C-alpha cells in the first residue's frame, strides 16, 4: 500500500491535479492511483481535522476527492473504508438499535462552586485520598451536542450508535461514516479493539451558514446547533447527513485492548491514532485549579466555534475511577460545572413572518446584532401573535434576548418602549397572499398546498415515513427540485419529473435518478390511510388517518363528510373535525388533490379481508428489530385489526413487543407498569393467532 509520504505519494504536500482522462487509464493504473488518492485524502483529513494545520487549499483537496470518485465509479473500485463513503450510502428503512459495549451514563451537575468542592470531598472520602494528597483532575469543555459510541476493530471503523437510554442506542453507523472528522481507518500503532465516546456537533460558523441558507430558501431555521445535529444524525438518508456540517470530538475510551492508566493519557494518545480531541482540555493538580479552569473557559467562550454550557471535571487516575464506580445514572468520578444562563438587551429593527409546512405563521424579530454569551444573535423568536400582544412589543423597542436551554434565542420582555402599541400581525400570507386565520394564539395561512412555502415542506412530509415513505426524497433534495422548477405548484409535479430532469441537476447521476423514479412509481396507488396521512391535513397523522379510512372506506366520503360525521369517528374531537373539514373545503386544496389523484391513480381502500376489529381496544408498543417485520409493518398489522400502536409504554399499554436489541428503558417501563412482554416474532404472532388474527 502506498504511504502518505511526499516522496512516495504524488498527491500529498504538492499534489498533482492535472490528471489524465479516466478512459485512458488501465485497470492497474486506476487501482494504483485510487489507493494513492485514498491515502492522500486520509492524510489531509488528519492535517485538517486533528492537527488543525492543512497543507493544501480546499480547491486542491476537492480536486483529489472528485478524482477518486471518478476512478471508483468508472472502474468499480469503491472500498468500504474509502473517503468517498462520506457522501452517504443508500437510504435506510429505519434506524436499528445497538446495545452499548459499556454504559454511557450522564454526569451530575451544578452551577455552584461549593457543589464542585463537595464533589472533591466525596471523591477523597470514598477513594481514601487525604486532603493535601495529590488528586489530579482532567477538565474539558462540556459540549452541547449529541453523544455517540464509535467502535473500531483492527483499526477499521465498524459501528456507531447514539447514547439512547445509556444502555442501548440507535444505530447511526452509516450517518457517522459521513463525518469527515471520524476516520474510517486509524493511524499509527492503534489497538486491535477500541470503543470511544464522542460528541457530534455543528460548529457555530457552519450552523449560522446552514441556517442562513435555509432562511433564504424559505425554510424554518434550525432552533439551535444541538437540535440540528441530533436531527441530522438520525436521518434515514445518509446523503442528507453528508450534506450537513457535522463534526466530532472524542473524549473518553469506553473499552480497548490497549490499557490506559489515566484520562490524560487517553487525551494525548487518541490524536496519534487520527482521532480528534479538544485542544482546550487541561489537567489540573487540585479542585481549585479545576474551578479556575471553568472561569477561564467561560471568559473565552465568545471565541469558541462550538457550543458549550459548562465544563466536565473528571478524576484523572483510571484505577481510582474504577474504585469510585457509578450510580444507576451517573459516573461517581465526574462532575459538570455549568455556566449561568445568558441574556442581552438589543433593539428590534424589523419583524419577518415565516410559513411552516402546515401553514403556521411564526413571527421572528430581526435584531440589531448583539453578542449573547459569545454568539452573535440577529434573529429571535417572538413566539406567536398572542405573545406579541401580551408583551406589547414593536419595531424600535429595546428587548431582553435570552437563549432558552442556553441556545435558542427568543425575546423575553420589553425593557424600553420606543413605539406605540404592538406589532400588527399580517392578515395575509407573506408568501402567497392568502388570508390568515387565527386559532387561539396561533396564526395560519389558508393557502394550503397552493402556498409555495407550504408546498416545499408538504412534499418533504408526503415522502416521509408518516407519508408514502419515498426513499431518497429528503428536505435538501426537495429544495433542489423546487429551486430547479421541477416542482412548481402541486404535489403531482413529483410524478411529472423525468430522468433527464434529474440527471441535469448537481449531485445526480443515472442511478440516483432511476432509483427515485422507481420509488415514485412504487408510491402510486397508495393505501387510503397512507394517502390521508401524506397530504398534510392539520392534526391528522397515521393513527387518525387509519381511523378515517376504516370508518369511511373511501376518499370521496371523507372529502364530503360533515363536521358532525367526522366528529363521530372515535378519537376525533371537534377541533380535529374542524381542521379536516376546512382542509377539504379549500378550493386550493381541492385542485391539488384532484391533480395528485390524476397522477397516481386510484387509492387502495380497506377491504374486509384485510382488516377487522379483533384487536380493538388494545395498545401495542414495539421495541428492537423484529425478525421478518419492519417497525411500520408490525404497527400496521395490529392497526389493521383495530389496535393502537404507540411509541412509549404507559399504564394503558397492553403489550410490549420486544425484538432484537430492545430499548432497555421500554423494558424497564413495562416492568414498572406490569405490561406483558412478547419476546420476539414467534411470541408476537402466537398472541395474534390467539385473538383470531392470522399474521
199 is in an annotated binding site: yes
Report the Cα–Cα distance between both ends of the chain, in Å, rounded: 53
Question: Residue 183, by phi and psi: left (phi above 0), alpha (psi -120 to 50) or beta?
Answer: beta
470-497: b (≥16 Cβ within 10 Å) or e: bbbbbbbbbbbbbeeebbeebbbbbbeb
60 is in an annotated binding site: yes
At 333, list the grid cell. 468520578
At 601, list the grid cell. 391513480
106 is in an annotated binding site: yes
DSSP states of 300-342: HGGG-SS-EEEEEEEESBHHHHHHH-B-SSBBTTEEEEEPPP-
Residue 691: active-site member: no
| Alpha-helix runs per DSSP H in 140-197 | 173-176
At 221, list the grid cell. 431555521
638-660: b (≥16 Cβ within 10 Å) or e: bbbbbbbbeeebeeebebbbbbe
Residue with cell 401524506: 534
61 is in an annotated binding site: yes
- Sign of the dihedral through C-alpha 4, 9, 12, 13: positive
CA–CA separation, 131 and 87 (whole Å): 54
Residue of 142, 276, 417, 691 marked catalytic: 142
CA–CA separation, 557 and 551 (whole Å): 10
At 510, list the grid cell. 443515472
Beta bridge partners of 607: none
605 is in an annotated binding site: no
42 is in an annotated binding site: no
CA–CA separation, 38 and 112 (whole Å): 49
- Sign of the dihedral through C-alpha 630, 474, 235, 80: positive
Contact indicator for 620, 657 with CB cutoff of 8 Å: yes
Cα dihedral angle (572, 576, 577, 580), rounded to 10 degrees? -120
109 is in an annotated binding site: no
338 is in an annotated binding site: yes
209 is in an annotated binding site: no
559 is in an annotated binding site: no
Q: Supply the DSSP symbol for 256.
A: E
429 is in an annotated binding site: yes
CA–CA separation, 636 and 7 (whole Å): 61
At 430, list the grid cell. 407573506
Question: Residue 445, by phi and psi: left (phi above 0), alpha (psi -120 to 50) or beta?
Answer: beta
451 is in an annotated binding site: yes
The closest of 154, 147, 144 to 100, measured between CA atoms, is 147
140 is in an annotated binding site: yes
| Alpha-helix runs per DSSP H in 553-586 | 555-559, 563-567, 574-585
The closest of 555, 470, 485, 481 to 521, measured between CA atoms, is 470
163 is in an annotated binding site: yes
Which are the contacts of 666, defined by CB distance < 8 A and separation ≥ 6? 621, 623, 648, 649, 656, 658
Residue numbering of the annotated binding site for Zn(2+): 429, 432, 451
* Catalytic residue positions, numbered: 142
Residue numbering of the annotated binding site for NAD(+): 58-62, 106-107, 140, 163, 199, 338
Residue numbering of the annotated binding site: 58-62, 106-107, 140, 163, 199, 338, 429, 432, 451
Amino acid at each position: 500500500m502506498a504511504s502518505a509520504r511526499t516522496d512516495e505519494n504524488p498527491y500529498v504536500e504538492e499534489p498533482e491535479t492535472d490528471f489524465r482522462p479516466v478512459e485512458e487509464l488501465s485497470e492497474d493504473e486506476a487501482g494504483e492511483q485510487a489507493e494513492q488518492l485514498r491515502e492522500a485524502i486520509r492524510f489531509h483529513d488528519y492535517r485538517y481535522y486533528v492537527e488543525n494545520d492543512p497543507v493544501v487549499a480546499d480547491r486542491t483537496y476537492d480536486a483529489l476527492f472528485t478524482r477518486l470518485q471518478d476512478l471508483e465509479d468508472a472502474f468499480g473500485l469503491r472500498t468500504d473504508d474509502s473517503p468517498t463513503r462520506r457522501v452517504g450510502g443508500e437510504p435506510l428503512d429505519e434506524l436499528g438499535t445497538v446495545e452499548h459495549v459499556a454504559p454511557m451514563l450522564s454526569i451530575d451537575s451544578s452551577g455552584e462552586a461549593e457543589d464542585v468542592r463537595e464533589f472533591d470531598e466525596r471523591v477523597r472520602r470514598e477513594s481514601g485520598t487525604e486532603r493535601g494528597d495529590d488528586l489530579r483532575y482532567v477538565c474539558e469543555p462540556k459540549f452541547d451536542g449529541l453523544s455517540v459510541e464509535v467502535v473500531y476493530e483492527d483499526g477499521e471503523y465498524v459501528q456507531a450508535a447514539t447514547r439512547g437510554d445509556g444502555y442501548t442506542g440507535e444505530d447511526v453507523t452509516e450517518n457517522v461514516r459521513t463525518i469527515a472528522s471520524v476516520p474510517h481507518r486509524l493511524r499509527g500503532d492503534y489497538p486491535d479493539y477500541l470503543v470511544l465516546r464522542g460528541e457530534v456537533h455543528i460548529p457555530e460558523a457552519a450552523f449560522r451558514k446552514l441556517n442562513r441558507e435555509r432562511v433564504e430558501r424559505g425554510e424554518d431555521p434550525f432552533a439551535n446547533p444541538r437540535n440540528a445535529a441530533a436531527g441530522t444524525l438520525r436521518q434515514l438518508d445518509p446523503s442528507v447527513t453528508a450534506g450537513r456540517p457535522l463534526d466530532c470530538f472524542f473524549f473518553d475510551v469506553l473499552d480497548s485492548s490497549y490499557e490506559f492508566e489515566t484520562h490524560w493519557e487517553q487525551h494525548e494518545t487518541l490524536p496519534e491514532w487520527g482521532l480528534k480531541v479538544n485542544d482546550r482540555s487541561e489537567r489540573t493538580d487540585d479542585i481549585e485549579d479545576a474551578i479556575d479552569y471553568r472561569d477561564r473557559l467561560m471568559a473565552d467562550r465568545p471565541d469558541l466555534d462550538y457550543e458549550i454550557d459548562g465544563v466536565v471535571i473528571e478524576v484523572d487516575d483510571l484505577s481510582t475511577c474504577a474504585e469510585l464506580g457509578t450510580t444507576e445514572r451517573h459516573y461517581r468520578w465526574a462532575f459538570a460545572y455549568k455556566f449561568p444562563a445568558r441574556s442581552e438587551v438589543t433593539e428590534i429593527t424589523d419583524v419577518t413572518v415565516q410559513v411552516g409546512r402546515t401553514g403556521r405563521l411564526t413571527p421572528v424579530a430581526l435584531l440589531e446584532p448583539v453578542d449573547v454569551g459569545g454568539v452573535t444573535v440577529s434573529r429571535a423568536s417572538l413566539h406567536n401573535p398572542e405573545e406579541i400582544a401580551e408583551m406589547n412589543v414593536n419595531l424600535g423597542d429595546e428587548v431582553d434576548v435570552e437563549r432558552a436551554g442556553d441556545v435558542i434565542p427568543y425575546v423575553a420582555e420589553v425593557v424600553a418602549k420606543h413605539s406605540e402599541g404592538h406589532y400588527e400581525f399580517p392578515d395575509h400570507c407573506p408568501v402567497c397572499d392568502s388570508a390568515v386565520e387565527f386559532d387561539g394564539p396561533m396564526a395560519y395561512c389558508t393557502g394550503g398546498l397552493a402556498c409555495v412555502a407550504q408546498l416545499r415542506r408538504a412534499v418533504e412530509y408526503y415522502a416521509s415515513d408518516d407519508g408514502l415513505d419515498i426513499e431518497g426524497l429528503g428536505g435538501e433534495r426537495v429544495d433542489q427540485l423546487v429551486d430547479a422548477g421541477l416542482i412548481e405548484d402541486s404535489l403531482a409535479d413529483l410524478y411529472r419529473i423525468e430522468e433527464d430532469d434529474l440527471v441535469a441537476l448537481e449531485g445526480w447521476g443515472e442511478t440516483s435518478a432511476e432509483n427515485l423514479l422507481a420509488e415514485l412509481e412504487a408510491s402510486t396507488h397508495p393505501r387510503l390511510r397512507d394517502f390521508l396521512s401524506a397530504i398534510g391535513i392539520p392534526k391528522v397523522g397515521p393513527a387518525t388517518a387509519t381511523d378515517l379510512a376504516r370508518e369511511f372506506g373511501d376518499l370521496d366520503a371523507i372529502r364530503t363528510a360533515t363536521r358532525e360525521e367526522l366528529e363521530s369517528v372515535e378519537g376525533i374531537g371537534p377541533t380535529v373535525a374542524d381542521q379536516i373539514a376546512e382542509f377539504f373545503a379549500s378550493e386550493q386544496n381541492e385542485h391539488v388533490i384532484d391533480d395528485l389523484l390524476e397522477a397516481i391513480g386510484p387509492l387502495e381502500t380497506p377491504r374486509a379481508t384485510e382488516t377487522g376489529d379483533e384487536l380493538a381496544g388494545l395498545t401495542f408498543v414495539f421495541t428492537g428489530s423484529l425478525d421478518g417485520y419492519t417497525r411500520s409493518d408490525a404497527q400496521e398489522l395490529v392497526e389493521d385489526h383495530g389496535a393502537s400502536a404507540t411509541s412509549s409504554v404507559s399504564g394503558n399499554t397492553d403489550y410490549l413487543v420486544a425484538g432484537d436489541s430492545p430499548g432497555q428503558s421500554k423494558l424497564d417501563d413495562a416492568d414498572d407498569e406490569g405490561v406483558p412482554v412478547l419476546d420476539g416474532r414467534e411470541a408476537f404472532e402466537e398472541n395474534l393467532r390467539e385473538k383470531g388474527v392470522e399474521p
